[in-house]
Amino acid sequence: MNKPLLNVNQLSVGYENKNERISILQHVTFSVAKGEIVGIVGESGCGKSLTSLSIMGLLGEPLRVQTGTIDFNGTDLTRLGKKELNRIRGKEISMIFQEPMTSLNPVFTVGDQISESMITHLGLGNKEALARTVHLLKMVGIPSPEQRVHEYPHQLSGGMRQRVMIAMALACDPLLLIADEPTTALDVTIQAQILELLLDVQRKNDMSLIFITHDLGVLSKMADRVMVMYGGRVIESAPMKQLYDNPLHPYTQGLWKAIPGSAKGQRRLYNIPGTVPDPRDDIRGCRFASRCQFAEPRCREAEPPLLKTEEGREIACFLYDK
């Protein structure tokens, strides 16, 4: 594998509450190589989006990085100030957000919004930036880009707005693109087109991609490697094929079974019993123990460490603590 472009090490993120430290992300560790697609999967509230916002330096108050480092291309992003982060954000690291209608500014044309980062980061003039914007809209499959460049977000369909977000993220040819559930609100046909577009752009640019989703079925078509998160922790990490063929953690097994049609003869959609724990709760041991059919007494007493297997996989479960 190539040298990591991004290396997140022991990242904890949270806030202070009446002199008590609340950690929502806990000791998250992973890396992304140049040209690699890493998927992050888990239920809502598991820490997927918070991980991406930490990398982008977009944590809102009162959240802050409590411990750990985010090394991007040799620079620890947690040590940078706002100005330094702004030089990297949008140029070397870009992000596609989950809902384009709340991310796009309704009072500016899509052309102005895409051009802005090229004018800021690449020093292009307005005419050059507009020409490149038309090229980007054409590249992401928007028809009549010369016309669309002068339109406003509300004049476009949901699929087109998401394509605009992709064009905006690619404007400065970033080294790393983070896609946070970019197809959630789209119908199945448009979803497939957006996924194919992302894969095509990633291959052509040899770009690193972090793809965040709650859908393992989508990731099976996208990712080289998958990181499964639960309760603010990484609980399993493996190459996509290994995870597809043999999920190890009980939670990952539950996610696979919840995919429609994944189990032969399955009449009812499987659901994992219970709910994701609240980070404010004082939980001892494994955060999945209350929902796990294999839980032992020690699972409720100690947090299982993230262990490396002989196959190079990582798993946080006492079932594999040999």
Give the residue numbers spanning the domain of 211.
4-92+172-320
pLDDT in 10s for each residue of the chain, 322 residues = 567 999 999 999 999 988 888 999 999 999 999 999 999 999 888 999 999 999 999 998 899 999 999 999 999 999 999 999 999 999 999 999 877 777 899 999 999 999 999 999 999 999 999 999 999 999 898 999 999 999 999 999 988 998 999 999 999 999 999 999 888 777 888 888 888 989 999 999 899 999 999 888 888 889 999 999 999 999 999 999 999 999 999 999 998 888 776 655 566 778 888 888 887 787 889 999 999 999 999 999 999 999 998 888 999 999 987 6
Judge contact between 43 and 34, C-beta under 8 A.
no
Q: Are residues 83 and 137 in the same domain?
A: no
Task: State the CB neighbour count (10 A cutoff) for residue 293.
Answer: 9
Local structure of 18: helix, strand or coil: coil
Residues 6+ apart with CB under 8 A from 147: none
Find the helix or strand (DSSP H, E) in which 227 lies: strand 225-230
Q: How would you class 1 by CB atoms within 10 Å of its CB: exposed for 0-12, middle for 13-18, buried for 19 or more? A: exposed
Query: Which of 171, 192, 219 finishes a domain?
Result: 171
**Final residue in a domain of this structure, among 171, 198, 222:** 171
Is residue 166 domain-shared with residue 235, that is, in the same domain?
Answer: no
Q: Is 264 helix (H, G, I), strand (E, B) or coil?
A: coil
In Å, how far from its chain's centre is CA 223?
12
Q: Among 148, 171, 194, give the residue marking a domain's end.
A: 171
Q: Is 62 exposed, middle or buried (0-12, 13-18, 19+ CB in 10 A)?
A: exposed
Q: Are residues 182 and 75 in the same domain?
A: yes
- Both 166 and 216 in one domain: the answer is no
55 alpha-carbon distance from chain centroid: 10
Residue 102: count of CB within 10 angstroms of its CB: 8
The total number of structural domains in the chain stands at 2
What letter does residue 278 receive in the DSSP assignment? P
Lateral strand order in the sheet of 75-76? 20-33, 4-17, 64-72, 75-76
Could you give the count of Cα atoms lying within 13 Å of 207 in the half-sphere of its Cβ?
A: 26
20 and 78 fall within a common domain = yes
71 and 195 together in one domain: yes
Helices (H), 18-90: 48-56, 82-88
Q: Please check whether residues 38 and 166 belong to one and the same domain.
A: no
Closest CA to 96 of 199, 169, 152: 169
- Specify the pTM: 0.92
Straight-line distance from the first to the last Cα atom of the chain, in angstroms, rounded to the nearest whole number: 27
Same domain membership, residue 84 and residue 181: yes
Residue 158 half-sphere exposure toward CB, CA atoms < 13 A: 12
Q: Domain holding 223: CATH number?
A: 3.40.50.300
Same domain (yes/no): 161, 191: no
User: Does a structural domain hold residue 97?
Assistant: no
